[in-house]
Amino acid sequence: MLQKSETLATLTNAGVFRADRWLVRDVNFSISPSEIVTLIGPNGSGKSTTAKMALGIIKPDAGDVKRRDGLKVAYVPQKLAIDWTLPLTVRRFMRLTEHVSASDAKNAMISTGIEHLENAEVRTLSGGEFQRVMLARAVARKPDLLVLDEPVQGVDFTGEIALYDLIKRIRDELRCGILLISHDLHVVMAATDRVICLNGHVCCSGPPKTVASSPEYKALFGGRAAPTLAVYEHHHDHTHLPDGRVKHSDGTITDSCHKDESSSDV
């Protein structure tokens, strides 16, 4: 277990093996209080699997995952299995399955701007409203680590910026670490401290490049968002074999995704 003053979660060479293959392998990163880390990568690259390791939902088959002692986590998954034929108000949904006080639920609704939806039926909400309700529900738990899997799905561009602004504000208010998952390079994003690019393993990681000078982005996201908007460019030019080795676009196979680090050409 990590001590109170240390990082919230640390993954060291962590990997998950299922159905005769590594879903992710050799994942190394940590997340600290008040830090926003974004996992990006194509579909099926292991973003959700990695986040679930950080949360403790999945145990690593290789390497190690350490979480701070007593860490309180909240997770907004990509999909929710809820029977929407049942009538359910936002107020009830906020406290369903969680030990959340009425006042914490109310405060979370206020801080996420959904107070006016308190008596609305969940099944009638728009995509963007539902995302906010999900976020409010997670915030009400006052987590140390908040994991949001594709938080902007179904949200338009203007709504995306508002949602990212909100995520940043939540980080400032709760001083929690936030692990975001996105497969969309174009929305990597106004408030990210660090980007981790996954493709079965960590391809690269670091602070996102600022694209404040790009007129297309300014036009899309507006002057206020442009200075903090970032994009991370990366080309996935290799695939991962079931045994963990890497096949490059020229057909060579090595142990590492960066060819110059290892070469066992076949």
Query: Secondary structure of 12-52 in the HEC alphabet?
Result: EEEEEEECCEEEEEEEEEEECCCCEEEEECCCCCCHHHHHH
Q: In this structure, which amino acid lies at residue 130?
A: F
Is 51 in contact with 149 (CB distance < 8 Å)? yes
Q: How far apart are CA 185 and CA 234, in angstroms?
A: 9
Nearer to ligand ATP, 55 or 114 (CB): 55
Counting residues that bind ligand ATP (by CB under 6 A) gives 13
For residues 46 and 143, which CB has a smaller minimum distance to ligand ATP in the complex? 46
Q: Judge whether 146 and 179 are in contact, CB under 8 Å.
A: yes
Site string for ligand ATP, 19-58 (x = CB under 6 A): x---x-----------------x-xxxxxxx---------
Pairing status of strand 21-31 against strand 9-18 = antiparallel
Mask 136-175, x = binds ligand ATP (CB under 6 A)? Answer: ----------------------------------------
Residue 132 engages ligand ATP in binding (rule: CB under 6 A): no
The distance in angstroms from the start CA to the end CA of the chain is: 42
Ranges within 203-232 binding ligand ATP (CB under 6 A): none
Backbone angles phi, psi at 54, to 5 degrees: -60, -35
197 close to 205: Cβ distance less than 8 angstroms: yes
Minimum CB separation of residue 18 from ligand ATP in Å reads 4
**Site residues for ligand ATP, window 170-199 (CB under 6 A)?**
183
Q: Which of 18, 59, 169, 209 contacts ligand ATP by CB under 6 A?
A: 18
Residues that bind ligand ATP (CB under 6 A): 18-19, 23, 41, 43-49, 78, 183
